[in-house]
Amino acid sequence: MTIHWCGTGLSAIPGLRKLINEGHEVVVWNRTTAKAEEAVGDIAKDIRAFDMEAITAATAKGDIVVSMLPGDWHVPLAEMCLTRGANFVSSSYIAPEMRALDAAFRDAGLASVNEVGLDPGIDHLMAHALVADYRASAAYDAKADISFVSYCGGIPKHPNPFRYKFSWSPLGVLKALRSPSKSIKNFTELNVSRPWDAISSYAAPLATPETFEVYPNRDSLPFMADYRFEPSWRIKEFVRGTLRLNGWKEAWADVFTEIETLSGPEGDTRLKEMSDGFWAENAYDEGEPDRVVMCVGFKAEAGGVDIFNKTYVMDAWGDARGTAMARLVSIPVALAVKAVLDREISAGVHPAPHDPKLVTEWLDTVDALAQHLQVVDHLA
């Protein structure tokens, strides 16, 4: 049974090296073999140039294909897996086209495991842990008002005037700023067309409490079902969003103003120019530590009084092991690969697992990857 790991970008390496070092049979695929050689050539026995024809021919029944490539490759690779009788793993959000493959994967007895990186990924594990904790607690009240928040951000360990630094091309960040979001606030669906219209302050209960700027992203609403919320629960707040350093809104004000005016091919060209400029001015220096902060909170209120209020918090930064972002994205991917190998994940298209055993095991691993991981009980 072979693991075909596609993509050796910055966020892929620790997980890939983990699987190779543990003795798994791994074929490394990358569009540029020289970059793959530079990243894992010291330990990898089989590095090949990526293209669909070559990997299709090499994939056998029972293999696992891992895509750490750009998102538009995930569905074609998953479809290829179905034709070859192989499993699929990626860290990315489940696109509608991927979800549409669920029945085919189930019928074939194969797994397509996605959303197993940092965000999405570790945040899902924290949410599953908190929901299970609440359900099992003496405080559980099916009629309580529920508030859920999940914020994650990659930020510079040493703040700069721009209040942000880039590990790779800024273009993805800029495009994300043009995306609308859906969340719930004060029992009402909140639709936001641009993130900067909904920036608020969040007090993170870290080892040393710290405030950040946060905003909702994407469509949070489907995740209530993913997190096993009861349809009957009264949802006061539900938001999955992005976390930034204080001062980010002010530092990026001109960026927001310009992005609002961009459209069409000319707008795309200008976004690329902006991206190139930001990369030149605000990329991480070699060896400079990054930082990742994640806070997932679950609160239940009855009669206006908190009956359950806990927050899972994580604070991690780059060290001798490399960047925090790389290990927190790719090590969970490696855990998902091993779970598929061990048949711990059922057939079908899935996000990060909610099985209590896997949630506990994976979060134990995350504890070793981060400098700080804790469940804060606000009522203790």
pTM of the model: 0.95
Judged against a pLDDT cut of 90, whether residue 344 lies above it is answered with yes
Minimal CA–CA distance to 102: which of 89, 111, 115, 91?
111
Contact criterion met (CB below 8 Å) for 163 and 213:
no
Contacts for 296 with CB less than 8 Å, ≥ 6 apart: 123, 126, 127, 130, 149, 150, 151, 311, 312
Contact criterion met (CB below 8 Å) for 306 and 339:
no
Torsion, Cα 357 361 363 367, to 10 degrees, reads 150
Region 320-338 average pLDDT: 96
User: Which neighbouring-strand residues pair with 274?
Assistant: none
Q: pLDDT digit string (tens) for 77-131?
A: 999 999 999 999 999 999 999 999 999 999 999 999 999 999 999 999 999 999 9
Q: pLDDT digit string (tens) for 214-264?
A: 999 999 999 999 999 999 999 999 999 999 999 999 999 999 999 989 989
Q: pLDDT digit string (tens) for 134-189?
A: 999 999 999 999 999 999 999 999 999 999 999 888 998 998 888 899 999 999 99
**Confidence at residue 167, expressed as pLDDT on a 0 to 100 scale:** 86
Judged against a pLDDT cut of 90, whether residue 199 lies above it is answered with yes
Contact criterion met (CB below 8 Å) for 154 and 290:
yes
Distances (CA, A) of 380 to 255, 300, 308, 344, 356: 43, 15, 10, 35, 24
Contacts for 311 with CB less than 8 Å, ≥ 6 apart: 205, 295, 296, 297, 298, 375, 376, 378
DSSP letter, residue 101 = T
> What angle (nearest 5°) sits at the alpha carbon of residue 126, between those of residues 16 and 193?
95
